[in-house]
Amino acid sequence: MKQIIKVIVAVIALGASLFLATQMGFSIQDFISSIHINVEAILLVTIVITFLLAIKYLLKLLLGLFKSGKFVTFYTIANSALDYLTMILIVVWSLRILGADINGIIAGIGILALIIGTSAEGIIEDMLTGVFMLFEQECKVGDIIEVDGFLGTVSEIGIRTTTLIDAAGNEKIFNNSSMKDILNRSTHESVAVVDIELPNDTDIEKVINADYGDITCLGLEEVQAESVLVRFIKKCTEDEIYDVRRRMNLDILNKLKELGIK
């Protein structure tokens, strides 16, 4: 779906550029007639495309050296920008080799850029926010963050969008400009919480004062008509919180069995 949208946007942008260039006196017929396609030109275009793709591949290999630790975010943004830049160079260079006078199209693109700058502020805001996210390190690839009620791991930060994946594998894509009020759960220690429901005739003092190792019993959390809730906590990192909860359930259950509490 994302690829289809990109193609549609590219077609619209190309059409708008040609229209604007035509209004400035640029003739499409003259442009087409100026293109000289022959075996040599096709060969040169093929060489150019191969060369640029090879350069992009080598640069991505070099960027891959930084695909770890705090440089992962830089890698994803640079990788995205490199794809866009390579495509632009291929189109412009190939047209020049074919002998096309692309000055009119470039002028049209310039005007189109001005239009985008005034009417599509969101696109520019997305791009600038992506750059600021890279340098300010509000979040980076691999961090567990919460944005607009969605909790997930940052899998990619691109030029315009940021992708989060939650614990169930659901993927949500945010425009960079909407990445506001970020709650970064990876920058501080988290707490795994487990509430155990026990009959209200249970010896609660015995439960609270028992030794649970590195698990802390906070005491009564809630008193109901026929039962009570006892809360236990354990410090951990956000990425292991679910596993820690499962282990806590098992450890607490075993301890309660030792105490003769069912």
Walk along the chain (262 residues) and give the pLDDT tens digit of each residue. Answer: 445 555 565 566 666 666 665 665 555 555 555 555 566 777 777 887 888 888 888 887 777 776 665 566 666 667 777 777 788 778 777 777 776 666 655 555 555 555 455 445 566 666 667 667 766 667 778 888 888 888 888 888 877 788 898 878 888 888 887 877 788 877 777 888 999 999 888 888 888 888 888 898 998 888 888 889 999 999 888 778 888 999 999 999 999 888 888 7
Q: Which burial class, exposed, middle or buried, applies to 108 when counting CB atoms under 10 A from its CB (0-12, 13-18, 19+)?
A: buried
Pick the CATH number of 190-258 from 3.30.70.100, 3.30.420.10, 1.10.1740.10, 3.40.190.170: 3.30.70.100
Number of helices (H) and strands (E), helices first, in the chain? 8, 8
Q: CA–CA separation, 245 vs 160, rounded Å?
A: 36
Query: Which helix or strand (DSSP H or E) is residue 144 part of?
Result: strand 144-147
- pLDDT of the residue at 118: 47
Spatial contact of 187 and 142, defined as CB atoms under 8 Å apart: no
- pLDDT of the residue at 59: 80
- pLDDT of the residue at 88: 76
Domain residues of the chain, as ranges? 2-132, 138-184, 190-258
- pLDDT of the residue at 68: 61
Quote helix, strand, coil % in the chain, to nearest 5: 55, 20, 25
- pLDDT of the residue at 166: 86
* pTM attached to this predicted model: 0.46
Crossing angle for the helix pair 72-97 and 39-64, nearest 10 degrees? 170
Pick the closest to residue 236 from 190, 205, 204 (CA basis): 190
Is 138-184 a CATH 3.30.70.2970 domain?
Answer: no
- pLDDT of the residue at 250: 92
